[in-house]
Amino acid sequence: MAKILTHEPDRGSQTCGCQIQVGGWHNDGQKFCGDLKAPGLYFCREHNQEVLDTYGEIRMAPGNAIGR
């Protein structure tokens, strides 16, 4: 993961947007993955695999873009 965002990107964008931090010790707030979505996936490859390992499947609401 190379890029970290401090705001959630638009779900229709090509940015991964997986939330990687909820708050923090130094009041640095939320953090989201700023990498591009992998082709055919809802997240970058790293976070796509992490979500699959954690939840066993990926179900997304309409309006969430798939990587190109």
Q: Per-residue pLDDT tens for 46-67?
A: 999 999 999 999 999 999 999 9
DSSP string, 17-65: --EEESS-TTS---EEE-SBPPBTSSS-HHHHHHHHHHHSS----TTPP
Q: What is the pLDDT of residue 23?
A: 67
pLDDT category at 35 given cuts 50, 70, 90 is: very high
Residue 13 has pLDDT above 70, yes or no: yes
Query: What's the predicted TM-score (pTM) here?
Result: 0.83
Residue 2 has pLDDT above 90, yes or no: no
